[in-house]
Structure formats: structure tokens, C-alpha cells
Chain A
Amino acid sequence: MTALPPFAARFQDVEVTFPRSWTAGANGTAYRVPGSTALDGVTCDVPAGQITGLLGRNGAGKSTMLGLLAAFRRPTGGTVLTGPDGDLRDPWEDAALTSAILLVQESGDVFHDQKVAATLAYYADLRPEWDAGYAEELLDLFEVPLRTKPSALSRGKKSALAATLGLAARAPLTIFDEVYLGMDTPTRFAFYDALLADYAEHPRTIVLSSHLVEETERLFEHVVLVDRGRVVFAEPAEELRSRASSLTGPTAVVEDLAAGHEVLHRQHLGPTTRITVNGALSDDDARAAAAAGATIGHEGLESLFVHLTRTSREAPATRVPDTDRAPARKEELR
């Protein structure tokens, strides 16, 4: 079968609303879940052949976006397209695309009561790019026994199994939705290393949804930040890494220097103040800061993520005009 190039994806004004529904509680009783909006006018691109980080707070709509890409659900409005660059199509019920897109969620989508080998065989059957040898190598690396049932594995081992499925499938669009949950630190780093090594050897498009921004940001080439069902930004990671700056020094000085900039965060410690501003500071600003005894620093992606999502919640009227809409709910409640 002819190999497919890495996939790109596009969200065009995508809306997902969940109707009022019933769900089962922990004690087995059914209760009513009110309707809500998970995605509201999402428009962004996922570039082909890059690692895209999808960031957002709990309930921001990340999993819903990823579910749309994998054709797990349909949008209420708008269009989701994916496929080889220049030939984007609706993935819904298109076996050519669904077999080239893999969404890996925590604990994986596996046959819990059959041996791990049964799940691997099923994936191998439906995934033309599946590499069985590599899958066994990864299971060895993560110490997941082939002859055990997933239901008998610990949470961390289940996540490792999910990561194995994602890597060994070598899908042109591979999506990891918080797959690291439950993994211990050495396993997480082993996963990141394996991901980078295999990505270099077999280029494809990877989307990584994560809360551990500091730990994963080195992997990202492109970043999409969503908050309350809307895209805050979708930009190359390199630009974002230098986007937020901090000014630290005497309060009056840094307040003066920060004037005219969008302030993301303000922190006071006695007479000293640290202000985080959106955007790089100019050479003139740097000279003025140095002369006034203030220091300028670059904020990382994590800081930008924290401040931008906090700002959007503290001042919803400026960033999210539609304040009346119901807060997005985790899809697992549907």
C-alpha cells in the first residue's frame, strides 16, 4: 500500500454543543447533565509534519477538538478537515482517513479483558503503517507484559500501553491526549525520547495535548492554546517562547516601563515588583530598564499559558465576549 504523507488539519469556525443529557453517577444512579458549549467558533490549523502542542486548562475543549479530528464525534457547526496537505477532507466515516489518524487517550482504547497481544493484533490489522517489531520493543522498554490483560495493569502501565499503540501505529496524524497521566517520571521521559527519535526517523504530524507544559514544551514546533472553547492563539512555538517578558525591579520603575504594554501578571514583594507583559520588549526598553535598575527576562511557554488563561478568566468581558454561555464540560460527562 502506498505510504501517505504527514497529515494537516483545519478547524473552521467549529462549534460543539452538548445537549442536556443523562449520565450514570458513581453509585449507578442516573442524573441529568445540563447542556453546555464545548467549542465556540474554533478556527485554527495544525501544520503537517510538525509536533503541535495543544494546551488548555481542564474543560477548555482540548479533548473535544481531538475527538473531532479522530472522527469520534461530529461538530455541531463548522467544518473539521484533515488529510495530506492540499487535499483536506472531512474524516467522518472515511476509512482511508480514520485509519491514518490515531487518537490515543489515557489508558488507550484497548480490549480490557483480553491479553495485550489481542489489542496489538487488532490495531495491526487496521493500521497499514503498524510496526509490530517496534511495538514489542516499546513494550519491553515500558515493561508491559504482552500476555497480561490491560485490566490487570497499573494506571502507569496502561498509559505506557497507550503510548506504545500511538507510536507503533506510525499514523500520518498521531494524537496523544494527556497520555502521560499515570506514568512515572522516568517512563514519561522515556516516552518523550522515543517519540522524538521515531518522529525523526518516520516524519509525521503529531498533536500532543498536555498539562505538563514545562516538561513537554521542548517537543513543540507549533502551539495551539484553547481556553473556554476558544482559540487564544495558534502560532509557531519559537515565536511564542519569546513572546512574554518580565520586568523586575522597584515598583515605580517597572510600572513606568510596563506602561503601554499588555500586562499579563503583576506580583509584588515588598518594594520590588515583577510584571509580566505580553510581547517582546524593545532595545530602548531594555536600555531604559538597565539604567533604572530593573531587569528584563523572558517568560517560558508555561508562564504564558498560565497568565493568558488566567487573564481570560479574570476579565472575560475583554477576551471572551460571550460570557453567558455555559462553561464547557469534560466530554467524559456526556
Chain B
Amino acid sequence: MSAVATALDERRTAVQRRAVRAVDGQIAAVLRTVGFWYWPVIALAAVVIALVQQRLGALDGSTVQYVVGSARWFAFSLGVIVPMAVMRPHLAAGGTRRALVRGVARGAVRAGVVFGLAVAVLYAAEQVAWRLLDLDWYRTLGPDRTTGVGGFLVNTVGEGLVALTYFLLGAAVAGGFARFGPWLGLVLCLGFGFPAVVADVALYTGPATALAAQILGMSGPLPMLAGLFTVLAAAAVTYIALGLILRDLPVKRPSS
């Protein structure tokens, strides 16, 4: 192998790795910036709802459950905006679309971890507050009633996977519109939404969990794991769709 060919091979590996890290870093920077105000606002909203319900004598279990649902749409919005905003500078700086997709996936995992932990912390904080106020804590939405460490883990993993899926969905929808235009893009958008809806439903109303428990006869933690596995599968399908869309998306000339 010639010296130039060797140099190109070395360069390919090093640049690809750095490019994935650079995209992930951009997503991390955005998550830091917007998370700084988003999560305090969500926490404040939960407190305000609790105070209003208390005053009206209608306080009925968790109020965090009413506000954390917006987190997935926030993840979706970030997915729509960030990867497409990064794409042009990323390719111009020397990255590839493959590195962009991998970087977005890493960023989505990061978003999932942050969102999952944030939701779990909010629930945990609410449980502590309820206990201090001598109130019963319970959720009316979703099949899961677990509290303590188990509840924290389930919330982190479940919400994290759903946020991850919605982030990837946002990126796939933006890429779909950019590549296929408004009509076909809209059709694809609805198609891409399916795995995310599956993820959401699997987590909240628990058909995957119910299926695992009632039809497959699973018991113990297995039905819950089946639900989480369904969410994971939905995230994987969305990731594959994103890769297929972005792998040959042309870059348009910027309008001056």
C-alpha cells in the first residue's frame, strides 16, 4: 500500500470518529442551553398546578405527570431543528452524512438520558414533597405505580427511551421534508410517527406489558421489560429510517 493510501486510511478513521463526536457535542451544547430554562419551567408548572388543585380541593395524586408529557414534544422539536441546522456546517467542515447520523444517534441517547433522569428526578422530588406533606402519592396515568428506586429506574429508562425515539423522529421528519418535499414528506412523517406512537403507548398504557403478562403469561419484571424492549425496538426502527433518509440528502446552496 502506498504512503498516500495509508495516510488516507488513517485520516478516514480519525476524522470519522471526530466528526461523530463533534455532532454529539453540538447536540449536547443545545441540550445544556435549552435545558437550563426548560426543566425549571416544567417543575414550576407542576408546583403551580398542585397549588391550584390544593386551593380548589381537587389535588389528586401526582401533578408532575401532567407536565412531563411535553418533554417528548420538546425532544421532537429539538430533533427537527438541531440535526438539520448542524448538517451544512458539518458537511462543509469535512464530515460525512454517516458521521452525522451516528452523531445524531449519540445525541439522541444523550437527550434520552437527560430527559429520563430529569423526569425521574421530578417524580422522586414530588414523592418526597408529598410524603413531607403527609399526602398519598400516586399516578393516574400509566400502568406503573412503583415508587422508590424501582420507580426511579423505570421512569429513567422508559421516559429516556421515549425521548430518544421522539428526538430521532424529529430528525427523520425534518430530513424527510428536506428530501422529499411537502407532500411525500408529510406521508413519510406520518409513517415515521408510528414507531414513536408505539413507544409512547407501550410505556403509558402498556399494551406490550399487558400482552407479555396476559397472553405470553410472563410475570415479575418481565412484562415491564417487554414494554421497554418494545420502546427500544421503536427507537431502532426510527434510527434506521433516519439513516436511509440522510444517507444521500443533497446540500442546497445557501440563499444569499
Contacts and interface: CB of A to CB of B under 8 A. Distances in A.
Contacts of A152: none
A188 interface: no
Nearest to A26: B255
A105 B16 contact: no
A2 B7 CA distance: 6
Interface residues of A, number: 53
Interface in A314-330: 330
Contact of A21 (B14, B89, B181): B181
Interface in B211-251: 247-248, 250-251
B150 interface: no
Contact of B253 (A22, A63, A99, A102): A63
Contacts of A1: 7, 10-11, 14
A333 to B, nearest CB: 9
Given A4-B11, A109-B88, A95 B19 contact: yes
Contacts of B57: none
Contacts of B254: 105-107, 109, 332
Contact of B94 (A102, A104, A119): A102
Nearest to B250: A73
B181 A4 contact: no
Contacts of B182: 22, 30
A95 B11 contact: yes
A105 B22 CA distance: 22
A106 B256 contact: yes
B15 interface: yes
A21 B22 CA distance: 32
A334 interface: yes
B24 to A, nearest CB: 11
B77 interface: no
B92 A102 contact: yes
Contacts, number: 138
Contacts of A84: 4, 8
A325 B163 CA distance: 49
Given A95-B19, A98-B95, A126-B93, A67 B253 contact: yes
Nearest to B23: A122
Contacts of B89: 109-111, 119, 122
Nearest to B2: A87
Contacts of A83: 8
A171 B93 CA distance: 10
Nearest to A113: B85
A170 interface: no
A123 B93 contact: yes
B9 to A, nearest CB: 7
B47 interface: no
Contacts of B98: 93
B18 interface: yes
A87 B253 CA distance: 29
A5 to B, nearest CB: 7
B96 A72 contact: no
A284 interface: no
Nearest to A63: B253
A98 B94 contact: yes
Q: Most A CB atoms within 10 A — which of B98, B253, B255?
A: B253
24 contacts: A2-B10, A4-B8, A22-B181, A22-B182, A22-B183, A73-B250, A74-B250, A87-B2, A87-B5, A93-B96, A94-B96, A95-B19, A95-B94, A95-B96, A96-B8, A98-B96, A102-B94, A103-B92, A118-B29, A125-B22, A126-B93, A127-B94, A330-B253, A331-B253
Q: Return the 5 tightest CB-CB contacts between A and B, nearest first.
A: A109-B92, A99-B94, A2-B7, A73-B250, A96-B12
Interface of B: 2-12, 14-16, 18-19, 21-22, 26, 29, 85-86, 88-99, 181-183, 247-248, 250-256
